[in-house]
Amino acid sequence: MVRGRISRLSVRDVRFPTSLGGHGADAMHTDPDYSAAYVVIETDAEDGIKGCGITFTLGKGTEVDWSRKGRGAPGDSGRPKRGVGLVGQAGGKACLEVTCGHEKQMLAQGYPAYTTSCAWLGYSDDTLKQLCAQALKDGWTRFKVKVGADLQDDMRRCQIIRDMIGPEKTLSLFLQMMDANQRWDVPEAVEWMSKLAKFKPLWIEEPTSPDDILGHATISKALVPLGIGIATGEQCHNRVIFKQLLQAKALQFLQIDSCRLGSVNENLSVLLMAKKFEIPVCPHAGGVGLCELVQHLIIFDYISVSASLENRVCEYVDHLHEHFKYPVMIQRASYMPPKDPGYSTEMKEESVKKHQYPDGEVWKKLLPAQEN
């Protein structure tokens, strides 16, 4: 039965000036403005059903997404083009029928998360300390630190985090991850992380080019004896790359990206492969709307695929959720199951208008100032 036909499609370039506060800065992207191509498909159905989709970029990549020439080509700042997934927000109130212990646990406790919000490379030491202290107060026990630009700077910042977390006896309770955002070649990654090993990181994320399967395998072989796992996958665009990473034993933590992979179906195939190889899935999130989307995937993984939370944790970044109609809910450092139907992709119209590039209110003020 056909509920309705497509009556209108709109695509808008939405950009948030995150670079002004140093938010999102890492070893590869020093001043990103988190952005998205935001798509809305409307229908002529009586109930007004519509589909909303987002393609996360760093600004310029949105223009690449829009251009026919750029289809399939690399996006802004080395980020591949992300496919837009469309899921309607229609329907009545969500009904959560609890049928097993795993569902009850999700409703009661949520899915464990870690925070990246404290330790962007663009933050000063004072800001890092302030945000880390607040995160500890809010109940966070897992922290990710951006590394890879300068070794001495990395060692100082990691020491700050370690001192705030506590002595080595608390390592079983408080975890630290590191993320190089593809900055190193293979020998450099091994040498750099050998020097950072004293901080006992759970993993090093994206130590080298995301499609260098054998490079990741070499790094993994060198670092696992030091107690450091390899986490990667946020830049992988299809299940074949993940298959090769798994077969080569190139990673200990698999990171799907809810927008990078083509649709929910491609993500589900990767979840099934991870289950087969007994590798925990620890998704990438943050950006514009990635936390909102990935919450659906991790809860499905736990209830219907892995049935385990062992060594599993999902990234959380505390930026830009206020612009979404159905923002993610975090309690006790955990993702709580969403209570609204749909894929949580719908943005608030007032936010879209205000941040539309280059004619929105925000950019009409910022662009002349930047030109001067």
Which residues form the catalytic set? 146, 284
**What values do phi and psi take at 200, rounded to 5?**
55, 50
Calculate ∠ Cα 345-351-357, nearest 5°. 100
Say if strands 229-232 and 253-254 run parallel, antiparallel, or are unpaired. Answer: parallel
Q: Which residues contact 92 (CB under 8 A, 6 or more apart)?
A: 341
SS3 at position 276: helix
Handedness of CA 365, 289, 126, 193 (dihedral sign): negative
Secondary structure (DSSP) of 27-47:
SS-SS---EEEEEEEEE--TT
In contact, 46 and 60? CB cutoff 8 Å: no
Buried (b) or exposed (e) across 226-236, using 16+ Cβ within 10 A? eebbbbbbbbb
- Strand-pair partners of 114: 315
Q: Which residues does 250 contact at the CB level (< 8 Å), separation at least 6?
A: 213, 214, 216, 217, 219, 220, 230, 232, 244
* Helix, strand or coil, per DSSP, at residue 92: coil
**For 176, phi and psi rounded to 5 degrees?**
-125, 130
